[in-house]
Structure 1
Amino acid sequence: MTPRNLMSACTLLLFFVWRLPCDQVIAFSRTDGTVFLSNGLRLNGERASDAGGFAYYGIKYGQAKRFEQSHLNTDFAYLNDTNRPKKGPVCQQTLYPVLMLVNGRNLTMSEDCLYLDIYLPPENSTHNGSWPILFWIHGGALRIGDKDMFDGTILAKATDAIVVVMNYRIGAFGWFSTGNDFAPGNYGLGDVKLALNWTVDNIAAFNGDADKITIFGVSSGGTLVSAMMLDDYVRNKVSAAIPMSGRLFWPASVQKNPREVAARFAARLDCPTSTLEEMVECLRAASVDDILRVYMGMATPLGWFGTMPLFQPVIDGLHIRASPRTILKDRASNKLNNRDFGRYIGGIMQGDAGHHIQRSNPEWLWDHTTHTYNTTERRLTQFFATLRGSCNEQAVSESRARAALHFYNVSQELSTVEYRQVLIDIISEVMFLYPELVEYLHYAEERPEDSYLYINSFDPGFQNVGAFHGVDYLHLFRGPLDSILGNLTSDALTEALQHYIRTIAHTGHPPGIYTDKTGNPNQYEAIDQNATWSVKSTDLRERLRFLESLVAPC
């Protein structure tokens, strides 16, 4: 499918016409980072670092009007603007302090933000032939984040794979929906699909193998990986999909009443709500600042867990055609095992909820806070009493806290540090392992030999939050992200995770003994405090049944 005699690549500056057929690509220089296309355009690459390969920055893959689906970009006049941001603008959002922790960030924001960057392995790469592709989707609760946080130089070199990072619309600009054609929603998801199609059609020019694309992402990026895999077209285009700590299968992750939420949002912006046409027209004319202000002010409270984004993915009949569970159940019933679909490889951090606890109840993680069996039970009761979409009655919450401590065999003779870890682990299982098991076990029922699960329990020792949400991507990408963990960053974990991702990129499945999996859905791979992988087995269906009992409505 993809030519094998083309070269690696570069960074930015001049770019090529959308959907240029692969057989029209005429040259790719492996020595100076230039690419020539049949239309005469020359792409000048930029060496990402002394030891890295070339990179292309700020490639505009799409265009979109507010609250409309994006389409392929065909206007490259922006390349003549010498004052443009090197990597292109990031999508409109309210910046959080955590986004500014990464060194060297000077952000320009715009609604015209559909750009991607491409990072290549070094030209002396020992890999023969075309390179596989790692297509990264950033996270940020569907309302913050951007591609610029993720420099793919180190990951591309470590994996001998091309790394593609991209922006997609977020917040109200990415997810506002009226539940019909006036504003169908899921624009951010459509952007990601458009960027993937762009990659499939054009990556051969960078010596990339379009038959070996792994899509992966963390947090809401993992949620979008899961949403992408609901589309059989996408499943048929990728060799593997890795949702990392995504939560598409959490009960509140798909918006059930978009029209009502849209009307409340419009009213706060003084837009008419008598007809949807007038309402959407008014919102399209509203200022970016007003939309951001109202959007952030209307985030749905989740008790101790912070807030839920106001707008989320919806069942639109296009990108998400039905309930995610319904789609996976139908697949499991039909078992289309003759189709060459990409493998599913889902996973979580064992302490995914640690940083959420730090934001909502920081005193739970303070060094001088005392934890006992009784205080742990009370804090779990508080958690269940504020869990959105669950039964929040006090008696039920108390019962669920006791049941959790019993199910996990929590001793009444642990240290205060051990009880603190119990809190993090149980809350993480409810909030992250539960939706992951729902998804994984559905895939395992359909295609057990092509469905994988991993759990990462590596704790870097950062602010008592355990093996927290994001430890994985901080160690995969490294570079500027090292400023977050500093000397707590583990080279051993980096090596283990990069080897894991490298094997998936090149073969489509995880490394080691796990590749001999024979369809046992209770088998999963674990990485421990020594950054060592091992295969473990437990009754995951029993675990899922118990976790479902903890989140059930009244």
Structure 2
Amino acid sequence: MKMMLVVLLAVCLNSALAAKLGVVQTEGGLVEGESIRMSLFRTVDVFKGVPFADVPGKWEKPKPHPGWDGVLRATKYRDRCLQVTLLQTKTHGSENCLYLNIFVPQGLSLSTNLPVMVYLFGGAFLLGASNDVAILGDSLYDGKELADRGDVIVVTVNYRVGTLGFLSTGDDRLPGNYGLWDQHAAISWIRRNIAAFGGHPDNLTIFGQSAGAASVSYQMISPYSKGLFRRAISQCGVALSPWALQRNPLKVTKKIARKVGCSNTNVDEMIACLKGSNPVDLTLAGKIDVLLILGKGVVMDLLQLAPVIDGDFIPNEPSELFHNAAQFDYLAGINSMDGHFFAGVDVPSINLGNANTTADHVKGLLAGLTKEKGDAAIPSAFSVYSTHWGSFPPPDVVKKTATDIETDFLFLVPTQAALQLHTNYSSGARTYSYLFNMKTRIPGFPWWVEANHAEDLQYLFGKPFSTPLGYAPRHRDLSQYMISYWTNFAKTGDPNSGNSRVPVPWPPFTRNHHPYLIINNNMSKSSVSYDLRSYYVNYWTQTYSSLQKKTGKEFSQRSV
């Protein structure tokens, strides 16, 4: 009985003392969220569905929100932006979708001047949302654990995707990049309003994964971002990634126009027809059909709706714009097998234990990835990737090689190139490189498979803590390591310095010195290594780039 009284007294005392924001004044009006208890003396104030812009016009830049009367109850996520479902058989979401969610950690006193971390979701620029992928009731991107354990404000942001977010004619008539403009509008709103939530407007870090990571990269190199935020983190994608830029947007637009009955030969008439078309039909017309390419080509070719060089937000080749990023501290890296999902589509045999993956399969994959160079690239690249095979390579070695090729081409090499460009132009800002290689938790894959695309997110967002029954202690160790490094970086620009202890010092990546941190649950001094896959990076950025039949799509030679 005494113990029960003590517990009740502690709960009552905590309820009385726990800080809570209550109603917050924003530029659009008053908002009120809810306070979620995290531990005895810790809570997180959560504001869901706060508008940062008005309902966007079709293929128009976002406009300021007109505001509202009374107190907006910000306790439910709002609709995602209109998009195809994961199976791409129908659509869901709404055109009224430009909302964000704010997670503010509180102790016994009200938080002030906290660093702010703004998350941009991934999804191939085709799908995704700020509250995507529910895990036992909570979104994968739920920011409570990251906010509480890292003592930062976390903001997750919606932006337009698919046809409505990235359709373009490649000129002023339909310039494209509407999803990037949405992100910019959200970051600008956060800078203007976050002080009212206890955040420091001059200490914003943007971070994202996959298409969200490439978006972070685009926000960095855009001339519109000068002074807007302070730091950036790209997880598994950069603006230099071959899937992150559409170089022939008019061709894609004409293809979508045909699907919705707007196949006019006159481009102005086609655009007028598109603007009058049903948004759901337009969205479905932008879907990808993986079945059309399974084992017959490369899935990268299907990712057609993406940012473009518009002469405005992205005024030039991404590799020529890194001088705009010189002011931002930058942390970027990849998962060790980011390309595995894609390789599994392009070469299905790699995940089938009883199927043989041959040299011809690997050559076919290379042919699909390097076709802008013609046939010359195939023997060149094949010799680089088969040099360690020997006369009779084990089946798993050949299968892993296919994964390595896709990982290098789509993620690792462009990320290393971006890190090098950043440090080349940096004016005092710091640069950090990492490789996340925790063993996959996805059942059914071969024994050799390590970290797949997006497997890092569960640890960064603290799922081993919020859903402990689904994880082991080693997963909680890894989760705490990532939260510590990421939030230290957000606070100080140095992942080693902040309120959180880290297991291993992480040295910066410099112009002539290329260390990287190997992130997993078993970290020691040997977790710092150097010159990540430099043999392959040098091949793609130098040898491959110098092959004839250039189209400008290759990695920049200036990057090494």
| TM-score computed with the length of structure 1 as normaliser | 0.81
Moved more, 443-452 or 431-440: 443-452
Deviation at 1:437, TM superposition (A): 1.8
Indicate the SS of the match to 1:454.
Answer: strand
Of 295, 303, 309 in structure 1, the residue corresponding to residue 303 of structure 2 is 309
Deviation at 1:553, TM superposition (A): 6.3
Q: Could you tell me which residue of structure 1 aligns to residue 86 of structure 2?
A: 96
Contact 2:83 2:92 in 1 (8 A): no
Contact 1:62 1:71 in 2 (8 A): yes
Contact 2:214 2:238 in 1 (8 A): yes
Contact 1:522 1:537 in 2 (8 A): yes
Q: Could you tell me which residue of structure 2 aligns to residue 475 of structure 1?
A: 459
Q: Does 1:45 align with 2:33?
A: yes
Equivalent residues in 2 for 1:366-445 (5 A)?
A: 366-369=352-355, 375=358, 377-387=359-369, 389-391=371-373, 393=375, 396-406=377-387, 409-410=388-389, 416-445=395-424
Q: Could you tell me which residue of structure 1 aligns to residue 490 of structure 2?
A: 505
Tell me the percent identity: 26
In 2, the alpha carbon distance for the partners of 1:427 and 1:86 equals 39
- Structure 1 unmatched runs, 5+: 1-28, 100-106
Of 27, 44, 66 in structure 2, the residue corresponding to residue 74 of structure 1 is 66
Moved more, 481-490 or 271-280: 481-490
Q: 1:129 to 1:31 in 2, by over 3 A?
A: closer
Q: Could you tell me which residue of structure 1 aligns to residue 515 of structure 2?
A: 523
Deviations 1:512-553 (A, max 9, x none): 633566654422222246255732222876643312345756
Indicate the SS of the match to 1:345.
Answer: strand
Moved more, 196-205 or 504-513: 504-513
Q: Greater RCO between the two (CA within 8 Å, min separation 6)? A: 1
Moved more, 480-489 or 145-154: 480-489
Q: Does 1:118 align with 2:102?
A: yes
Q: Could you tell me which residue of structure 1 aligns to residue 22 of structure 2?
A: 34
In 1, the alpha carbon distance for the partners of 2:464 and 2:87 equals 16
Deviations 1:355-384 (A, max 9, x none): 22233434312334456xxx3x33321210
In 2, the alpha carbon distance for the partners of 1:305 and 1:260 equals 18
Q: Could you tell me which residue of structure 2 aligns to residue 220 of structure 1?
A: 211
In 1, the alpha carbon distance for the partners of 2:271 and 2:49 equals 31
Deviation at 1:444, TM superposition (A): 1.6
Q: 1:124 to 1:365 in 2, by over 3 A?
A: farther
Deviation at 1:347, TM superposition (A): 0.7
Deviations 1:477-532 (A, max 9, x none): 14499889944782222111111101111111222633566654422222246255
In 2, the alpha carbon distance for the partners of 1:285 and 1:85 equals 35
Contact 1:32 1:45 in 2 (8 A): no
Indicate the SS of the match to 1:380.
Answer: helix
Residue 475 of structure 1 aligns to which amino acid in structure 2? Y
Q: Does 1:354 align with 2:340?
A: yes
Moved more, 149-158 or 442-451: 442-451
Indicate the SS of the match to 1:296.
Answer: coil
Of 143, 147, 169 in structure 2, the residue corresponding to residue 152 of structure 1 is 143
Q: Could you tell me which residue of structure 2 aligns to residue 86 of structure 1?
A: 76
Contact 1:269 1:291 in 2 (8 A): yes
Equivalent residues in 2 for 1:179-328 (5 A)?
A: 179-251=170-242, 253-271=244-262, 273-296=264-287, 303-305=297-299, 307-328=301-322
Q: Considering only aligned residues, what root-mean-square deviation do their CA atoms show, in Å? A: 3.6
Q: Could you tell me which residue of structure 1 aligns to residue 555 of structure 2?
A: none
In 2, the alpha carbon distance for the partners of 1:461 and 1:412 equals 33
Of 480, 489, 513 in structure 2, the residue corresponding to residue 495 of structure 1 is 480
Q: 1:311 to 1:85 in 2, by over 3 A?
A: farther
Residue 87 of structure 1 aligns to which amino acid in structure 2? Y
Residue 410 of structure 2 aligns to which amino acid in structure 1? M
Contact 1:364 1:420 in 2 (8 A): yes
Moved more, 541-550 or 234-243: 541-550
Q: 1:412 to 1:537 in 2, by over 3 A?
A: farther
Deviation at 1:440, TM superposition (A): 1.2
Q: Could you tell me which residue of structure 2 aligns to residue 131 of structure 1?
A: 114
Contact 1:230 1:327 in 2 (8 A): yes
Contact 2:18 2:106 in 1 (8 A): no
Contact 1:144 1:171 in 2 (8 A): yes
Indicate the SS of the match to 1:264.
Answer: helix
Moved more, 535-544 or 431-440: 535-544
Q: Could you tell me which residue of structure 2 aligns to residue 450 of structure 1?
A: 430
Deviation at 1:419, TM superposition (A): 4.8
Indicate the SS of the match to 2:83.
Answer: coil
Q: 1:214 to 1:85 in 2, by over 3 A?
A: closer
Indicate the SS of the match to 1:87.
Answer: coil
In 1, the alpha carbon distance for the partners of 2:283 and 2:380 equals 40
Residue 383 of structure 1 aligns to which amino acid in structure 2? L
Residue 44 of structure 2 aligns to which amino acid in structure 1? G
Residue 207 of structure 1 aligns to which amino acid in structure 2? G
In 2, the alpha carbon distance for the partners of 1:480 and 1:497 equals 12
Q: Could you tell me which residue of structure 2 aligns to residue 164 of structure 1?
A: 155
Deviation at 1:36, TM superposition (A): 4.3
Indicate the SS of the match to 1:236.
Answer: coil
Q: 1:206 to 1:532 in 2, by over 3 A?
A: farther
Q: Does 1:142 align with 2:121?
A: no
Contact 1:223 1:246 in 2 (8 A): yes
Indicate the SS of the match to 1:119.
Answer: strand
Residue 439 of structure 2 aligns to which amino acid in structure 1? D
Contact 1:179 1:258 in 2 (8 A): yes
Indicate the SS of the match to 1:116.
Answer: strand
Q: 1:110 to 1:85 in 2, by over 3 A?
A: farther
Q: Could you tell me which residue of structure 1 aligns to residue 3 of structure 2?
A: none
In 2, the alpha carbon distance for the partners of 1:518 and 1:251 equals 24
Residue 365 of structure 1 aligns to which amino acid in structure 2? N
Deviations 1:384-432 (A, max 9, x none): 0221654453x742442222232xx455677554554343234311221
Deviation at 1:174, TM superposition (A): 0.3
